[in-house]
Chain A
Amino acid sequence: MLTAAGRRPWTFYALAAFFALYVAFLYGPMICIFVLSFQGPQGALVFPMRGVSLHWFAELVTQTETGDILGAISRSIPLAIIVMAATVAVSVAGGLAFRDRFRGGAALFYGVIVSLVAPGYVLGIGIGLMFQLLGLPAHWYSSALGAQLTWTLPFGLLIMFAVFGRFNRSYEEAARDLGAGAGQILRLVVIPIVLPGIIAVALFGFTLSYDEFARTLQTSGSTNTLPLEIWSMTTNVTSPVIYALGTVTTAFSFIVIGVALSAIALIQRRRYGRALPAGRH
């Protein structure tokens, strides 16, 4: 099966077909709602298409039928940016720390794993209760921010562990040898070298926050973030406007993903030529 060249075994074609089916399964439904979001004004939630229009997108903005979508977006994007920044800062610092063994490191690591696998809604209830019992008001920028970090930080840290696992420490020693101070080593050597990993962490931080639901539900206070808004629409709204929203928010996610992945690819390409992006640092 791994013969260097020549004919591929039949298993290749079988598995390739399986893979293609999986990709169709993954993207097919998304493509459906993408198409349906361009339904004509008389169109329903299902096929067939009754004309093609931007009617439902216009509906989104004018908010006749829907809730406060623009408000939700105006909270979700700043929140995602804050979560992203905090995730990057905390994960990079944590990744640096975990390169050395230190007392309590293992316990902290298990704490991170608990944060990852604990049911999100349970954490949300806990945070909601805590704020309520301590008499603190719940807001998207306080309780929901913290709740989302419990979801994004484990991913950020696991990525940074992998990145620093490949990081050669002689770069730091070389920099120190050449007279750089601790701050300069971090700014001029470590961060630029692990930049692709940092962008990956930022991508996770942003998108996981932007789409977070279970942990945010009990912690965002009286206002909704975008996923909460979409959720409430699934129960109230019976027109393709929900597909239009899905198309808009998915397109936005795709732009974010595209920018992040291109940035990583560009850096790797510049640094390692046509070599593998997986090249060692």
Chain B
Amino acid sequence: MHGTYERDTRTGAGRVELVGLYKRYPDGTVAVDGVNLAIEDGSYCCLLGPSGCGKTTILRMIAGHETPTDGEIVIGGETMVGRAPRQRGTAMMFQNYALFPHLSVRDNIAFSLRVRGIGKRERYREADQVIEQVQLSALAHRLPAQLSGGQQQRVALARAIITRPRVLLLDEPLSALDEFLRLQMRSELRQMQTRLGITFIHVTHTQLEAVAVADQVVVMEKGRIEQSATAREIYASPRSAYVARFMGGQNVLRGTVETVAGGVATLRGPGGERFALRLATERSLAGRELYFAVRRDHLRLTRADAAPPSINAVSGRVRAVEYQGTYVKVAVDPATPGAKAEGGDGFVAYVEEGDYFRDPVVPGTTVVGSWQIDEAHELASGPATAPAV
């Protein structure tokens, strides 16, 4: 259509690389603390983390709305630091969308063409095509305040994609929507990404959202990347206790290494329990404290009066039982008094509904949770402050 305006379609044009990215604000807070990350061309990447972890700052630095204190941003092999937002081939979808309240849907979407000096007829023709893509043709003349949340989100998306970006940056795109719409728009976003084939970088604080849409999930904490991997990998093998707790569905346990043999360590837990843990790499760790994770749905609960397994088991008193439909969530306090003070916070088991109701345990019952050696997963780092979900 317009020479310089055409999307760059070279292979790898939408590959984003962050090298040693660092951001300190004038007030001294470090928002982003040395981030290295590669996002493949045409992939859907989610930056995931709690409030204040630096994920939005990263997004804004990629977009060019903030300048890194140090480090490089490379898109499609070209370094971007110092370039204006429009020269980066990125487009941003803002939290709450920032739709111009005085412009109609059509004028909002055609805005980038207008500021490029493209005539009315042509920009409306082009805008109308995009409006059709996001199924808003009937609403083209409405103002943003006359649209529902979901419609506003589509306008924001259309306004961004009409610039034919190589990379689309989405800042908490679903946070303004109610639960039902959020699920619907989430899958629309993913479909749109697949159709356009461009890179999406999506910032969110919701684990389920990230896991549902992303090819690559980047879990962040305090300005650093805790883990970057596929959703399944992050969920199945969290690297650290932080990731395990933040992603949820995991019990984080610990013990002191007594012996290591044949790649398997024997640990003693805070309550005197014995654990066998297959190590990721064979190494000598005697005397060290190790953390590991066991998925909640992998814990098998038995009453304490049955003979407990001598290894890979923890016991405790049931604190709460929550019915969840297909399964029952059983929260257990640690048995040994004082274990809690030491940081043992008990464990949670997801018991399949049918299994639970064959022999329901009520709060106060003493139970044992056990697992197979291959169901435990070694964690690279220790204590974490992330709230258990």
Contact = CB atoms under 8 A, between A and B. Distances in A.
Interface in B92-119: 92, 94-96, 98, 100-103, 111-112, 114-116
A180 B115 contact: yes
**Chain A: interface size category:** 20 to 34
B12 to A, nearest CB: 23
B98 A168 contact: yes
Contacts, number: 73
Interface in A167-222: 168, 170-171, 173-181, 184, 188-189, 192-193, 195
B86 A177 contact: yes
A279 B63 CA distance: 29
Given A193-B100, A270-B143, A281-B101, A174 B92 contact: yes
A188 B111 CA distance: 9
Contacts of B92: 173-174, 177
Contacts of B64: 177
Nearest to A169: B98
Contact of A271 (B91, B115, B143): B143
Contacts of A275: 145
Interface string B70-97: 0000000000000011100011101110
A178 B65 contact: no
B163 interface: yes
B96 to A, nearest CB: 7
B330 to A, nearest CB: 43
Query: Main secondary structure on chain A at its contact with chain B?
Result: helix
A170 B143 contact: no
Contacts of B100: 171, 174-175, 189, 192-193
**Contact size class for B?**
20 to 34
B176 to A, nearest CB: 12
Given A178-B163, A270-B143, A184 B115 contact: yes
Nearest to B116: A179
B145 A272 contact: yes
Given A178-B91, A275-B145, 14 more contacts: A168-B96, A170-B94, A170-B95, A173-B94, A175-B115, A176-B85, A177-B86, A178-B163, A179-B86, A192-B103, A272-B101, A272-B145, A273-B146, A281-B101
B156 to A, nearest CB: 9
A176 B65 CA distance: 9
Contacts of B111: 175, 178, 180, 188
Interface of B: 63-65, 84-86, 90-92, 94-96, 98, 100-103, 111-112, 114-116, 143, 145-146, 159, 163
B115 A188 contact: yes
Contacts of A192: 100, 102-103
A281 B63 CA distance: 24
A279 B95 CA distance: 19
A273 B143 CA distance: 9
B112 A193 contact: no
B94 A271 contact: no
B95 to A, nearest CB: 7
Nearest to A185: B115
Contact of B86 (A178, A188, A193): A178
Contacts of A180: 111, 115
A221 to B, nearest CB: 43
7 contacts: A177-B91, A178-B86, A178-B111, A179-B115, A180-B111, A180-B115, A193-B102
A268 to B, nearest CB: 10
B102 A174 contact: no
A279 B145 contact: yes
Contacts of B63: 177
A178 B112 contact: yes
Q: Which 3 pairs across A and B sit closest by C-beta, in order of nearness?
A: A179-B86, A178-B112, A174-B98
A178 B159 contact: yes
A173 B145 contact: no
A279 B146 CA distance: 13
Given A271-B101, A271-B102, A272-B145, A179 B95 contact: no
Contacts of B91: 177-178
A179 B111 CA distance: 9
Contacts of A271: 101-102, 143, 145
**Most chain A CB inside 10 Å of its own CB: which residue of B65, B84, B94, B101:** B101
Interface string A255-281: 000000000000100111101000101
